[in-house]
Structures are given as C-alpha cells and as structure tokens.
C-alpha cells in the first residue's frame, strides 16, 4: 500500500514537472513566433518600397534603353523577388512557432490569439488583392483560432451618414450585386428624408437614389470598406443648369488603379472628384461635321464659296475640286493672321477622325474621280482619296 502511494505521488510530481516544462517550451515558441512576425512585417514594408521603386524605374527607363540603364531595373526586380521569398519564410516560421506552442499547451490563449492575428493579416492582404480564394481560406483559419476577439472585425460592418444641401431630398438605398458581369441594384430600401444620421451598414457597394420634387433623380454610388466610416454630402443642380443632353454626376471619392489582373495597372489610390456633367450619348459624325462646318463659317466671313459650308456636297466642294483639297481662293484669306491662312482648310477638316473614310485605291484603267484629278489622287499630296461621310 505504501509503495503504490509513493508511485502515485511520483507520477503526480512528474506530471507537474512535465506541464511546467511544456509551459516553458510554449513561452519560448511564442517569443520566437512574435520575433518572426516582426521580421515578416518589416520585410513586407521593405517589399512595398522595392515594388514602388521598380514601377517608377519601369516608367522612366524605356524598353529600348541600353543594358546599362536597364541594369538598375533588373537589380530592383531581383531585390523584389528576394524579399518575397524572405517574407514567405518569415511567415512560415511564425506560423510554425505558434503551432508548436499550441502543441505543447493546446489551450494557450496567447498562442491562439497570435495565430488568429497572423491569419487576419493575410486575410487583409487577400481582400485588398481581391483574392476571393485567399479570403475564404484565411477567414476560416481566423475563425478556427479566434476566442471572440476577431468575430466583429471579420463581419466588417461600416457606418454611413448622409447630408444634403436641401431638406426635401428623399433617399433610397440599394445594394449593388453583379449580374451578367454588370452591377445591378437589388434589395432597395427607403431611408427617409435627408439628412440621415450615422447608421451601421455591411461592407459592400451600394447605390444611393436621391429624388427632389421637380428635379431629376440623382444616382450616387457608395462604397463601404471594412469598418469604414463613410460620409456623403449631396449637391443638386437644376435641370436648367444641366441641360437636356447632359447627366449630372455628383462628386465623391473614386478608386483608381489597384486591379491585380489588369496589365500595367497603377497603384491603388483614392481621389476626390468634383461634381461634373457628362453627355448622354457620344458625339456622332454628323454632329462633329456640323461643328467643323460652323467653325469654318465663323473663320471665313464673308463666305468665299470654297470653304465647307451649306453648299458642300459629297464628291464636290462647289468649285470642281476634290474633297479634302478645298481651300479659300481669296488671296487676303490665304494671307490671314493665323500664319498659314485663317481660311486655308486643305484636308485638315476631312482628315479628322470620324469624318472621313479611305476609299479603295482604283485599279489601272478606272475612270477618273469626280471633280477631276488623276486616278488615285484626292488629297493635296496625292495618295488614297479622302471621302466625307454623308
């Protein structure tokens, strides 16, 4: 009986010593892991600096530069590759040390918290890079080792506050969802009248629909980032100010660059864009032709009968010259104050993109073009004729 009691006491003492040893080992692994995390963070900062330097040199040094000039870029690019490898190694060491600490003491709260924080940092990188697979993977790892600290952070709810120049603005909010590769509004809800006090809103893209009596409806995109506080101020312009052919676009922050899959994409940045108006439809060839002809009539006063005007028809300029060679015949106009002549149009008007087309080169024996000239000519210097699009 006494022997068995002594054996039991020995096992208890040995167990206590083993737990103490495991605790010391876990603490040592935890310290080593934190040192690796610090090194990983420093390498990431250095990597960002090197990548920015490589992009800068890539813009400054042209592709046809000498080898000596390109060696500067190559050296920075090699440094970027080395830093990426070192950063991966530091991350792996930190992860391994924290996992070994948990292997010694499975319920160690410090080791679990350190692992959750490490995985959350990688989750943030994946989110900024729009890597949905990476987000899913690291989010699950954060949730596995989280003891309740990171749950709200993972939700990522932000806040939104809306003000306006007027107090009679009705507001509605819709979430933008991708449908057939196009963002479409969905789940529209009423927010009441402006102003709207700050309220919580999930991370995502939204469309703010603003209506004021007697005015056009204004659509204002809103992007809510992770745990971000967004303030929107609405300015209205009357339909008379904007005009029937234009659409008012309210100002606000715009995200530029940062697309990981776009070739030659610039760094992601946010720039505040002021209010502006944009045409409802692109300028047509007929509209641009009318603009050029109006400009010609402004320059050539009184009309000389040669510059493009109401009498201009397809295939003729009114004096038997071919399209594209029309120029004012008045000597005074040809010696105008604009240097080469204020009314000397030549082919410039018809060479404007969208106002001409290249006719096929005639074969030998084809009839001469309308308005005279040799076959194959049509411009002041010969070559393929320029024909106006009527």
- What predicted TM-score, i.e. pTM, was given to this entire model? 0.62
Band of pLDDT at residue 312, cut at 50, 70 and 90: very low
pLDDT at 305: 58
Tens of pLDDT, residue by residue over 162-221, are: 999 888 999 999 999 999 989 999 999 999 999 999 999 999 999 999 999 988 899 999
d(CA 176, CA 122): 26
Dihedral of the CA atoms 322, 327, 328, 333 (nearest 10)?
-170
With a cut of 70, say whether residue 111 has pLDDT above it. Answer: yes
Mean of all residue pLDDT scores within the chain: 78
Question: In this structure, is the dihedral angle defined by the CA atoms of residues 260, 159, 253 and 192, taken in order, positive or negative?
Answer: positive
Query: Which top CATH class is 156-279?
Result: mainly beta
Mean pLDDT of 316-343: 41
Whether pLDDT at 368 is above 70: no
Residue-wise pLDDT for 218-259, tens only, equals 999 999 988 889 999 988 888 888 888 899 999 999 888 877
| Structure confidence at residue 128 as a pLDDT band (50, 70, 90) | confident
For the record, the structure tokens of 267 come out as 């760094």
For residues 237 and 275, the answer to whether their CB atoms sit within 8 Å is yes
Beta strand 246-249 with 356-358: parallel, antiparallel or unpaired? unpaired
**Domain segments of the chain: what residues?**
12-154, 156-279, 284-390
- Dist. CA 255–CA 314, nearest whole Å: 47
């Amino acid at each position: 009986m006494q022997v068995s009691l002594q054996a039991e006491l020995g096992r208890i003492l040995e167990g206590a010593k083993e737990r103490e040893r495991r605790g010391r080992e876990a603490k040592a692994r935890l310290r080593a892991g934190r040192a690796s995390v610090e090194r990983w963070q420093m390498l990431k900062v250095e990597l960002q600096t090197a990548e920015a330097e490589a992009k800068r040199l890539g813009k400054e040094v042209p592709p046809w530069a000498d080898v000596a000039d390109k060696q500067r870029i190559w050296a920075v690019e090699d440094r970027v590759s080395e830093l990426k490898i070192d950063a991966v190694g530091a991350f792996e060491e930190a992860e391994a040390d924290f996992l070994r600490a948990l292997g010694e003491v499975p319920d160690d709260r410090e080791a679990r918290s350190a692992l959750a924080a490490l995985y959350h940092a990688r989750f943030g990188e994946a989110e900024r890079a729009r890597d949905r697979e990476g987000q899913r993977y690291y989010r699950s790892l954060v949730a596995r080792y989280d003891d309740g600290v990171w749950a709200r952070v993972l939700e990522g709810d932000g806040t939104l506050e809306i003000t306006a120049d007027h107090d009679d603005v009705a507001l509605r909010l819709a979430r933008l969802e991708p449908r057939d590769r196009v963002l479409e509004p969905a789940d529209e809800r009423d927010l009441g009248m402006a102003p709207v006090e700050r309220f919580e809103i999930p991370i995502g893209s939204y469309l703010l629909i603003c209506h004021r009596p007697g005015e056009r409806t204004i659509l204002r995109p809103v992007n809510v980032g992770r745990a971000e506080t967004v303030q929107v101020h609405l300015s209205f312009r009357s339909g008379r100010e904007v005009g029937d052919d234009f659409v008012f676009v309210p100002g606000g922050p715009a995200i530029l660059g940062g697309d990981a899959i776009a070739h030659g994409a610039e760094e992601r940045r946010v720039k505040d864009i002021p209010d502006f108006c944009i045409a409802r439809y692109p300028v047509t060839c007929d509209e641009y032709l009318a603009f050029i002809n109006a400009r010609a009539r402004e320059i050539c006063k009184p009309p000389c009968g040669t510059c493009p005007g109401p009498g201009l028809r397809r295939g003729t300029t009114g004096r038997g010259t071919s399209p594209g060679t029309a120029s004012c015949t008045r000597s005074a106009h040809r010696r105008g104050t604009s240097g080469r002549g204020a009314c000397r149009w030549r082919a410039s008007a018809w060479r404007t993109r969208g106002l001409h087309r290249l006719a096929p080169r005639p074969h030998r024996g084809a009839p001469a073009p309308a308005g005279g000239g040799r076959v194959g000519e049509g411009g002041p210097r010969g070559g393929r004729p320029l024909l106006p699009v009527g």
